[in-house]
């Protein structure tokens, strides 16, 4: 993320850039279907929850976005992300009583499936006879968990899964979700764990056909994706509790950049994590505090996401109580 643009460019310019990005993006194929699902999900979760209070709703974004290099896409640039963080966080948000909109990259890690092998069907099952399928040890516990907990969350309208692949799909869907969550006011949270491309090739300037390798090297020019965080925060869902993530491979610049993002995009919280240690430790950066959160190996839930979500839920509750509704 840039240190020198963002707030420094006038809001009008940013708005124009964002409008241009959306105008040039290929239109979302299933837009109507998505908006119907969103409307229904938000409506169901706007009613008082079991505890009598209003249920909190979080949108968890997960996995990396792709940037097509050709319109009939053969090649694209991808951002690495297994989606483990988003899947784990979704489980802990559900456990904490939240309803979750899980905006995830197709094929990445799903909630309740983190402990399963890559290819559960072929690796966890044995076929007995016409009427019987047996889960092979040692997977039976994990398989039962995955099937039952996922089923319960989805059928209970507490988990809405929306898949994306490209940066164009991701940003259009994120905007739809943020707008649909406005009615929830401060009870809405945006937990932006997805690894979003900083650069893209504008759709109209993209090669229609597969790029030919020719004889020489391939020179590519990618332009910056306009920074949507500020607009998301100020215009799309101004009352929502917003958390963004900062991933770096170089720990020396990590906290500085997290601070920068917090100020530039007016986030309520930035979760700073370093690629090599991200499953052990993250640092929660806020205007008034920096809290280092560690995975606790002595507990059952030994994911760093367990104490992380606990801390976030606490801060979100305080935020809801402090905001005049």
Positions touching a second copy (CB under 8 A) are: 1-2, 4-5, 66, 69-70, 72-80, 106-107, 110, 113, 116, 118-122, 124-127, 132-135, 143-144, 146-148, 150-151, 195, 197-199, 208-210, 212-224, 247-250, 275-276
Residue 30 to residue 276: CA distance in whole angstroms: 37
Between 7 and 73, CB nearer to a second copy: 73
Minimum CB separation from a second copy for residue 195, in Å?
7
Between 49 and 108, CB nearer to a second copy: 108
Residue 87 to residue 96: CA distance in whole angstroms: 14
| Cβ neighbours of 205 (radius 10 Å) | 9
Residue with tokens 């507990």: 299
Minimum CB separation from a second copy for residue 73, in Å?
5
Between 52 and 214, CB nearer to a second copy: 214
Between 146 and 309, CB nearer to a second copy: 146
Minimum CB separation from a second copy for residue 89, in Å?
18
Between 73 and 96, CB nearer to a second copy: 73
Residue with tokens 């993002």: 261
Running DSSP on this structure, what letter comes out for residue 146? H
Residue 195 to residue 270: CA distance in whole angstroms: 14
Minimum CB separation from a second copy for residue 273, in Å?
12
Across the beta sheet with 281-285, what order do the strands follow? 159-164, 99-105, 57-62, 188-192, 241-248, 269-274, 281-285, 290-294
Helix (H, G, I), strand (E, B) or coil at 166: strand
Between 114 and 286, CB nearer to a second copy: 114
Contact of 233 with 266, CB cutoff 8 Å: yes
Contact of 63 with 194, CB cutoff 8 Å: yes
Minimum CB separation from a second copy for residue 201, in Å?
10
Contact of 55 with 45, CB cutoff 8 Å: yes
Minimum CB separation from a second copy for residue 214, in Å?
6
């Amino acid at each position: 993320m840039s240190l020198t643009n963002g707030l420094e460019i006038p809001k009008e310019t940013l708005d124009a850039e964002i409008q241009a990005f959306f105008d040039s993006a290929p239109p979302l194929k299933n837009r109507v279907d998505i908006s119907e699902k969103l409307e229904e999900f938000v409506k169901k979760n706007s009613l008082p929850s079991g505890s009598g209070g209003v249920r909190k709703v979080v949108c968890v974004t997960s996995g990396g976005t792709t940037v097509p290099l050709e319109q009939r896409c053969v090649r694209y640039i991808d951002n690495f992300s297994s989606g483990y963080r988003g899947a784990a966080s979704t489980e802990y948000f559900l456990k904490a009583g939240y309803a979750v909109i899980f905006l995830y990259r197709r094929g990445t890690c799903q909630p309740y499936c983190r402990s399963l092998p890559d290819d559960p069907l072929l690796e966890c099952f044995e076929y007995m006879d016409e009427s019987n399928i047996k889960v092979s040890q040692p997977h039976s516990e994990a398989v039962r968990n995955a099937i039952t907990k996922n089923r319960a969350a989805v059928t209970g309208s507490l988990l809405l899964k929306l898949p994306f692949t490209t940066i164009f799909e991701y940003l259009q869907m994120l905007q739809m979700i943020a707008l649909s969550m406005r009615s929830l006011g401060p009870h809405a949270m945006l937990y932006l764990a997805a690894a979003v491309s900083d650069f893209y090739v504008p759709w109209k300037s993209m090669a229609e056909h597969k790029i030919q390798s020719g004889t020489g090297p391939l020179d590519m020019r990618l332009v910056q994706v306009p920074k949507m965080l500020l607009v998301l925060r100020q215009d799309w869902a101004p009352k929502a509790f917003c958390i963004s993530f900062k991933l770096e491979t170089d720990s020396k610049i990590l906290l500085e950049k997290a601070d920068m993002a917090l100020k530039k995009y007016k986030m309520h919280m930035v979760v700073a994590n370093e690629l090599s240690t991200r499953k052990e430790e993250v640092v929660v950066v806020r205007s008034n505090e920096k809290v280092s959160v560690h995975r606790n190996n002595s507990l059952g839930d030994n994911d760093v996401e367990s104490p992380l979500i606990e801390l976030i839920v606490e801060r979100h509750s305080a935020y809801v109580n402090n905001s005049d509704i």
